């Protein structure tokens, strides 16, 4: 069987929900990309800080990943749209953990639905891999039932039939390392 990895960055929990749901369905391992510094969690400051970090092409320092990325055959990258692009944490991931020759999938979460440009940009960046498919979701943690269905359809289309998502074990207990480092999906931020 193909060795599958879902690697994601999530600031407010939406991508985390989508990534873990998909990982459960396709029997993938999970890696969470965690920058050492996070934007402020509340108010306009988060958009300003996050938007600026995209425009300035920042590459935040990440906590080391637990897995050898090159050991996987199929890689799903999950991220939220920031200022129309993928977030700086994903830029850091791509730079720090280069890979090629993989089957590649993308899950992009946004609040407005404009994910195409970011996905195209990522495809270009990862052109040494075979891009297979992408899934765009709108704030999926706000309507879990509806989005579980969309994710299950995506999983079945690309990875074959799986049992109903609610019957599967929670990947937090099975696969993910990152939650041992954070108490829940909302990461506390540094200075």
Contact between 15 and ligand FMN (CB under 6 A)? yes
Helix axes of 144-159 and 14-26: crossing angle, nearest 10 degrees? 40
- Bridge partner residues of 45 (DSSP): none
For ligand FMN, the closer CB: 117 or 157:
117
Contact between 147 and ligand FMN (CB under 6 A)? no
Residue nearest to ligand FMN (CB): 50
Q: Which of 23, 76, 109, 178 binds ligand FMN (CB under 6 A)?
A: 109
Residues 6+ apart with CB under 8 A from 141: 12, 13, 14, 16, 17, 18, 147
Which x/- pattern, by CB under 6 A, does the window 38-57 give for ligand FMN? --------xx--xx------
Contact between 80 and ligand FMN (CB under 6 A)? yes
Q: Which of 43, 64, 101, 112 binds ligand FMN (CB under 6 A)?
A: 112
Q: Cβ distance 93 to 123 under 8 Å?
A: no
C-alpha distances out from residue 123 to 58, 128, 140, Å: 19, 9, 23
| Minimum CB distance to ligand FMN, residue 39 (Å) | 6
Rounded to whole angstroms, the Cα distance separating 20 from 155 reads 12
Contact between 175 and ligand FMN (CB under 6 A)? no
136 membership: H or E segment, kind and range: strand 130-138
| Minimum CB distance to ligand FMN, residue 81 (Å) | 4
**Stretch of 63-71, 109-117, 147-155, 157-165 lying at the interface with ligand FMN (CB under 6 A):** 109-117
- The Cβ of residue 78 has, within 10 Å, a number of other Cβ atoms equal to 29
Give contact residues for ligand FMN (rule: CB under 6 A).
10-16, 46-47, 50-51, 80-84, 109-112, 114, 139
């Amino acid at each position: 069987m193909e060795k599958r990895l879902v690697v994601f960055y999530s600031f407010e929990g939406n991508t985390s929900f989508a990534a873990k749901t998909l990982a459960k369905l396709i029997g993938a391992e999970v890696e969470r990309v965690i920058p050492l510094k996070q934007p402020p969690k509340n108010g306009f400051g988060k958009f300003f800080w996050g938007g600026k970090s995209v425009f300035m092409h920042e590459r935040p320092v990440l906590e080391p990943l637990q897995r050898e990325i090159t050991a996987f055959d199929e890689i799903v990258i999950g991220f939220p749209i920031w200022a129309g692009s993928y977030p700086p944490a994903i830029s850091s991931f791509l730079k720090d953990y280069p890979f090629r020759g993989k089957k590649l999938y993308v899950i992009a979460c946004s609040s407005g639905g404009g994910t195409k440009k970011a996905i195209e940009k990522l495809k270009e960046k990862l052109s040494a891999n075979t891009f297979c498919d992408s899934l765009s979701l709108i704030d999926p943690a706000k309507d879990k039932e509806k989005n579980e269905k969309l994710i299950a359809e995506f999983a079945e289309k690309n990875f074959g039939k799986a049992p109903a998502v609610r019957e599967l074990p929670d990947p937090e207990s099975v696969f993910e390392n990152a939650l041992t480092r954070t108490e829940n999906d909302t990461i506390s931020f540094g200075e």
